[in-house]
Structure 1
Amino acid sequence: MSDTNYIILTVASVDFSYRENMTKLMAQHSKDLIANAGVKGTRFGSIGTGEHAGSLIFIQFYDELNGYQKAMEFQSQSPVFKEIMDSGKVNLYLRNIATSLPTKFENSTEHPKYIVITRAEAAMSDKDKFLNCINDAASCFKDNGAITLRFGNLLTGSNVGNYLLGVGYPSMEAIEKTYDELLAHSSYKELMTFAKVNMRNIIKIL
């Protein structure tokens, strides 16, 4: 999947007994959105850590927000989405829109098995400095196994303006190796002087 400009993150609590069925339905719903509504790609997974642990997350990628509007219109008529919502076992409780800024990281077409999402507070005036630190550390992520990396700002929700970093990995081992090296990286140390991490979640892709 090529780089995109916007990311939509939707989080839901789902009855455990319905998760297997929902995973199958969301796989079909993702295909429908890509085929009919301008979605460039999707990810669906289970949040394993942090403030939303146990919930499921659906991530959509768009070139422009008009595409998201088209997707919402399609979704309102989708029998698959209707089946999910009519089950009475799914509670959508969070949806945020984030930008996705260009970085020096070359994203792979390989699908990750895990995604680590990190949210941080920093001044908007530090955006260029923040992006420079991410770009300087890009090789650290790549060399230790990361296969995708996206960075941007939240446009909606209670944490508007916070920065989001989402990195996809093929394994938990790759996550561990990356953070072992990242903690000693000069750009990461610089980043920690002006940014405050307030969330980090590990998502297992289903």
Structure 2
Amino acid sequence: MPDMNYVVVTAADCPVEKRAMAVEKMSGFADDLKSQAGTIHTRFGILMTGSNPGSLIFVQSYESLSGFEKAQEVYANSAPYNDLIKQSGVKILLRNIAKLVPVEFPQKMDSNPKYLLLTRATPTGYTPAEIVSEFSKISNLFADNGASTLRFGRILTGSNAGDMLLGVTYPSMAEIEASYDAVAASETFMKLASNISINLRNIIRIY
């Protein structure tokens, strides 16, 4: 599998009565991206928490931004994507790109997680490089407590450009609870937390 160097996160509003249809269309769109644009991996689901619960979330991963450029042609020609916009009443709220950084983690790519937890933070006392270095010291806590996959990077676009973004998938809520109990007990994390400002932490139900 090619290296995942970039991730594209899209959030969209969707009427309640159209969400089941939207999830079905996102599945078809994900297949189109993989077969036609070389998208490495996708995740999609419904936001459960935060200021926009019920919103759709679609995540795409690429080796390079040329892959995302190629995906624009798929956006224009994909029947599931066009149905998603025209039939499901979906309205795009944002689409941002993040550059991923290498973090040691035993990725379980063949797993079937139910939840994705996205955390966004603004660097305050630490530089982005220092944040990556310190976070790398505690990434094992997520693996040890049942997380399936973990990606970490820096947002390149949008109003939160420059913020750090962490995405972790889990098989159940129990592993989310165990992971954050372990992180909260870590002195390394407490030091890291005092040098960043967490401005978002949302749970997405993956389908």
Which bracket does the TM-score occupy, shorter chain normalised?
over 0.9
| Cα 1:105/1:21, change in 2 over 3 Å | same
User: 2 CA distance for matches of 1:125 and 1:176?
Assistant: 27
Which 4+ stretches in 1 moved above 4 angstroms? Answer: none
* 1:51, distance to aligned residue in structure 2 (A): 2.4
Gaps of 5+ in 2: none
User: 1 CA distance for matches of 2:17 and 2:88?
Assistant: 12
Moved more, 102-111 or 35-44: 102-111
Match of 1:169 in 2: 170
User: 1 CA distance for matches of 2:72 and 2:100?
Assistant: 20
TM-score by length of 2: 0.95
Gaps of 5+ in 1: none
Match of 1:87 in 2: 87
The aligned amino acid for 2:93 is Y
- The equivalences for 1:57-96 within 5 A come to 57-87=57-87, 89-96=89-96
TM-score by length of 1: 0.95
1:115 aligns to 2:81 (yes or no): no
User: 2 CA distance for matches of 1:116 and 1:108?
Assistant: 16
What CA deviation, in whole Å up to 9, does each residue of 1:103-151 have, x standing for no partner? 0112111132111110001059612221122211112111100111111
1:157 aligns to 2:158 (yes or no): yes
User: 2 CA distance for matches of 1:148 and 1:196?
Assistant: 23
Kindly indicate whether the alpha-carbon contact (under 8 Å) linking 1:2 and 1:107 is maintained by their aligned counterparts in 2: no
- The equivalences for 1:134-145 within 5 A come to 134-145=135-146
Match of 2:34 in 1: 34
Moved more, 162-171 or 17-26: 17-26
Kindly indicate whether the alpha-carbon contact (under 8 Å) linking 1:105 and 1:135 is maintained by their aligned counterparts in 2: no
The count of aligned residue pairs is 206
Match of 2:190 in 1: 189
